[in-house]
Amino acid sequence: MLPKYHVYFGLLASIAVYFISGSINALIFFFASVFIDTDHYMAFVFKEKNWSLKKSYYYWKDEHYPYDELMVFHTIEIWFLLLIIGLTIKPVLFLLAGMLYHELFDIYDMNKRKLYDTRTISLFAWSIRNFK
């Protein structure tokens, strides 16, 4: 899904979070729902050795889909770690909630475009496949 849609939907949900839990948690939720995709940029820089944000955007938008690319913030292990931390630091739960909210829209978009099994969901499984 394009970043602008994550911004729109993240903003709408953040308004609800604001009324339920206040401005700080709403900002954390919004930040997480949008900037979880920084892992796409990190993967682009690592793979292409290019720091251009614009080229990264078009790389993922037009040319490639992250078939078995490691998108570390989109993995179960990271979410589980955030859940454990969030049990003691409540704002981290809003970070996790924003990331999972974002992921729901990614899953919807991948399903709509029939891109089944295109994204790595587990850091552990990706490591086994890629470090033989």
- For 49-104, what is each residue's pLDDT tens digit? 999 999 998 888 776 665 677 889 999 999 999 999 999 999 999 999 999 999 99
DSSP annotation of 119: S
How sure is the predictor about 119, in pLDDT bands with cuts at 50, 70 and 90? confident
What local confidence, expressed as pLDDT, does residue 84 receive?
98
Q: What distance lies between CA 20 and its chain's CA centroid? A: 23
CA dihedral 107, 95, 32, 14 (to 10 degrees): 90
Q: Is the separation of the CB atoms in 74 and 38 below 8 Å?
A: no
Considering only CA atoms, give the Rg of the chain.
15
What local confidence, expressed as pLDDT, does residue 60 receive?
82
How sure is the predictor about 115, in pLDDT bands with cuts at 50, 70 and 90? confident
More reliable by pLDDT, 27 or 67: 27
Domain housing 94: 3-130
pTM for this one?
0.89
What local confidence, expressed as pLDDT, does residue 2 receive?
84
More reliable by pLDDT, 79 or 1: 79
Q: What total of structural domains would you count in the chain?
A: 1
